[in-house]
Structure 1
Amino acid sequence: MPSPSEPTGRPEGPLPLVYGPHPDQVADLHLPDREGTDPVPLVLFFHGGFWRAAHDRQHAARFAGALAQACDCAVANIEYRRVGAGGGWPTTLTDAARAVDRLPELATRAAPGRIDDGRVVYAGHSAGGHLALWAAARHRLPADAPGRTDAPAPIRGVLALAPTADLAHADRLGSGRGAVADFLGGSSTEVPERYAAADPAVLGAPAGHTVVVHGTRDEALPPDMARAYARTTGTALVEIPHGSHFDVIDPDSTAWSHITQALGTLTETRG
């Protein structure tokens, strides 16, 4: 057994990644403890918090670390500019686009030989679930929309946890005390072109296979939003009986086994 002064070959904590010049264009890369020879999948995870600066990636750090260990994968816990600190339309979206475009290469460089960049999954919770769905549907954006790409993202799919899957619906509900209007700069009647370029509910199915996980007692976003999104896009929906909005990022909740199973399905090795 190594002494405390001897290196173990594993990092003491997540590895810092910098995907842009702004202080919020960073991510923490969590790696599984095991030192196997096979590269592991990469999950690019967007935290929630109403797209607001009051909420940062630290509240999802425990979830990201636990997911890396439970699913034997690398998890990049992504920060991005948020409303109140330089974010909102279109900056939050362009940060999300820049993050998913750059982080696979940055992660493989930071952990040589440990990451399989052919098995990438976008994931996110709540407002971050919106960003994950949006990032995987950038090839469906209007021609002049910020972040648009011509080709679908080269990913296995999306794991969306209690996502804000319908921005117009969430705005009508007043979710997060007007969080959607703060994010996009108005309602769907005031800035319809922004909703057309940002709302997963109107963009269609994301690239790859998508799994939406939503609690039936979500107090922040109604499960009917997830059900409608799954119906219209043909994506898979896993409902957590009696699950709350935050159960889906709590490793100690009854939702955890559903989360790990869904991610395992997305990242499994294919011939």
Structure 2
Amino acid sequence: MTNPPLPAPSGPDGLMVWPDLLERPRPQPDETIRYGADQMQLVDLWLPEGAGPHPTVLMVHGGCWQTEIADRRIMNWIADDLRKRGVAVWNIDYRGVDRDGGGYPGTFADAAAAADALRAHAPRFNLDISRLVATGHSAGGHLALWLAGRPRLPEGSPLRAADPLPIHAVVSLGGLPDLEEAARPPGSGCGTEVIGRLTGGNFADTSVPRLAPLGVPQVLVNGLQDRIIPTAYAEGYAAPMRAAGDAVRVRMVDRTGHVELIAPETAAWAAAAEEIMKALGR
């Protein structure tokens, strides 16, 4: 049975708008796992068919680091697409800056705890995390890259951990990895004020370029017509990371805004999925 055709993008410029994605039937995960007491401290696990071991992707949602804008469920459509490709997805949630305990260091501590919980649950679900790929959209692109950089956190940071979960590659979807750049006017579609709430002025352990080199391959997939994330952000991040020794590639996708990056039928997601599967060795 084939899926019915999706309607054409409804934006005035021929690009997708949020209802084009959010108003379609939403696929559901196989398990929801709690890693803390807060209602946002949850992970959805998407399991492919078969006994495994399953190649695994750690997924991080965006929403300008604000819970009221988005939670992990905004990623369900691409999580389902990866599940159909034979890949398990560990789709994390976290307290945004607009929640008690969010901001600095709570939002980062949540992302770290959710990631580290994957190691504890991997044997139960036969998840192969030996070649773990992290992917995130928008603000989640920043957090996915930050998770890969955790071994580089400076001495004295409350976010340092003795043995953070190793991440072996990152695919960022319209991310904002350089928080110092995003904090400068005019900023991004998230505004500049949210960066202060997220970091408390602490860029040394929150902005990814401060952690360079990460030591893992990174691919940035961005839309040429993205109105939320300035297109200059991608190469603006990639150039100094390359200079520090990291392997960073940028893929700009034409006729693509911000929503297309997490809609499974789009050219943008096809590019991202290709990079994810390649990083998994599939």
* Bucket of the pairwise TM-score, normalised by the shorter protein: 0.7 to 0.9
**Structure 2 residue 57 is matched with structure 1 residue 49:** no
| 1:65 corresponding residue in structure 2 | 80
Matches within 5 A, 1:231-242: 231-234=239-242, 235-242=248-255
Q: Distance in 1 between matches of 2:166 and 2:75?
A: 25
TM, length-normalised to structure 1: 0.84
AA paired with 1:174?
G
Give the counterpart of 1:243 among 256, 259, 278: 256
**Structure 2 residue 36 is matched with structure 1 residue 28:** no
Deviation at 1:99, TM superposition (A): 1.2
Deviation at 1:117, TM superposition (A): 2.2
Q: Which aligned runs of 4 or more in structure 1 are off by greater than 6 angstroms?
A: none
Q: Distance in 2 between matches of 1:170 and 1:128?
A: 14
- Cα pair 2:56 2:133 within 8 Å, conserved: yes
Deviation at 1:13, TM superposition (A): 4.0
In structure 2, runs of 5+ residues without a counterpart are: 1-27, 243-247
Give the counterpart of 1:257 among 270, 274, 278: 270
Q: Distance in 2 between matches of 1:108 and 1:129?
A: 27
| 2:94 corresponding residue in structure 1 | 80
Deviation at 1:197, TM superposition (A): 1.2
Deviation at 1:154, TM superposition (A): 2.4
Q: Distance in 2 between matches of 1:21 and 1:243?
A: 38
| Identical columns (%) | 35
| 1:15 corresponding residue in structure 2 | 31
Deviation at 1:107, TM superposition (A): 4.0
- Cα pair 2:148 2:168 within 8 Å, conserved: no
Deviation at 1:56, TM superposition (A): 1.2
Give the counterpart of 1:228 among 236, 240, 253: 236
Change (3 A) 1:141 1:259: same
Question: What's the C-alpha RMSD, in Å, of the aligned pairs?
Answer: 1.9
User: How many equivalent pairs are there?
Assistant: 245
TM, length-normalised to structure 2: 0.81
Deviation at 1:149, TM superposition (A): 3.9
In structure 1, runs of 5+ residues without a counterpart are: 1-11, 186-190
Q: Distance in 2 between matches of 1:26 and 1:267?
A: 25
Q: Deviations over 1:234-266 (max 9, x none)?
A: 212111123212211111212122011100111
Q: Deviations over 1:173-231 (max 9, x none)?
A: 2331332123223xxxxx2xx11110012221324221111111211111211112112
- Cα pair 1:170 1:221 within 8 Å, conserved: no
**Structure 2 residue 136 is matched with structure 1 residue 124:** yes
| 2:207 corresponding residue in structure 1 | 199
